[in-house]
Amino acid sequence: MSQTTAAHVVHVTGARPNFPKAAPVIKALAAHGIRQVLVHTGQHYDPVMSEVFFQQLGLPEPDVNLGVGSGTHAHQTAKVMMALEDMFVADPPALVVVYGDVNSTVAATLVAAKLHIPVAHVEAGLRSFDRTMPEEVNRVVTDSLADLLFTTSPDANVHLGHEGIAAEKIHFVGNPMIDTLLSNLDAFDADAAREQLSIEGPYLVATLHRPANVDDPATAASIVKALHAAADTTRVVIPLHPRGRASFASAGLMDHSGVTVIEPLGYVEFIGLVRGSLAVVTDSGGVQEETTMLGIPCLTLRPNTERPVTITHGTNQLVTVDNLVDRLQPIVDGQGSGDGTTPPLWDGHAGERIGTVVAAYLRR
């Protein structure tokens, strides 16, 4: 992909969850012959959190890398906004496509809206109804300004309708992240993950990074206590996100012989690890979706989820530190792999549906 003065679409990605969502959309728009520019804001800048996705998912190298790095929500959002404003003014796109709910998403949306550039939001309408989550604020702001809203589940359409979004803007297309999962299914090798990490026997995977779980020392300590209790019976493998490393280490996470802490993994390696596990303990939205498609029980350590379809049509359940071990026990005993149903339109063709809608929109 390359920049051009001709009408083009700009994709703005910035963090690990964005890349599996963007890959099928970029492929679909290429099939329609649409010129595209890929921007990586650098919100996630660790190679395993960003660069490896371009290699493993067949994404083209970004045309632009803003390199904003980490920082407070305001500083990070402001850096992205300033850089994108310069870019959009110099070469205005016909459409800006944003993904998910990260700071790069809301930053790009604000800049485009003020420059009167249309915005398409992939994964619109998800709601936890918890404004203490920065992601929830990003979702609501982005959806209120977007011109095309692509939803992954029927409940998202309902939320957008309640918020007064015009029905003609909303398109239920399915989940492009599931497109990526299904197209790479043969690459997710559980045996290779076991061998690489020298894991024998059954194991659980835990991945936790949200501020509500890792920023407060007392909360982190209670989570560590629950994970240690789980590790008393089944090994717990934790690819430790940079955000939670210090607080979990201070709480003694690594002090239990049944806990294996590893560095963050690439997409293929991580899903391979998940595929071979008994269950996953997480606070990640994407992992709730991936486990649903893989039929792996998922215990979400949060009081709410913006993805209730993973509970009604998947393997997900909400848990607390107090009931985590009790909820895990039936799974360890061989129960609770779900009923095999999957959410509607999670069929591997969401990217194509998005491509069709975008192509028609640009023609108009």
- Is the torsion defined by CA of 139, 144, 146, 150 positive or negative? positive
- Are 44 and 14 spatial neighbours (Cβ–Cβ below 8 Å)? yes
Q: How many angstroms separate the CA atoms of 293 and 52, rounded? A: 22
- Is the torsion defined by CA of 155, 161, 164, 169 positive or negative? positive
Active site residues: 209
Q: Which of 13, 52, 53, 17 is nearest to 209 (CA)?
A: 17
Helix 267-275 × helix 285-294 angle, to 10°: 50
- Are 282 and 240 spatial neighbours (Cβ–Cβ below 8 Å)? no
Q: What one-character-per-residue DSSP string does 247-284 give?
A: HHHHTTGGGSTTEEEE----HHHHHHHHHTSSEEEE--
Q: Which of 283, 264, 359, 334 is nearest to 45 (CA)?
A: 264
Cβ neighbour number for residue 53 with a 10 Å cutoff: 26
How deeply is 3 buried, as exposed, middle or buried, from its count of CB atoms within 10 A (0-12, 13-18, 19+)? middle
- Are 179 and 254 spatial neighbours (Cβ–Cβ below 8 Å)? no
Q: In what order do the strands lie in the sheet with 64-65?
A: 64-65, 36-40, 9-13, 95-99, 119-124, 148-151, 170-172
**Token couple for 254:** 């690594």
Helices (H), 47-133: 51-56, 73-90, 103-114
Tracing tokens 């994404």 back to the chain, one arrives at 59
Q: How many angstroms separate the CA atoms of 231 and 235, rounded? A: 5
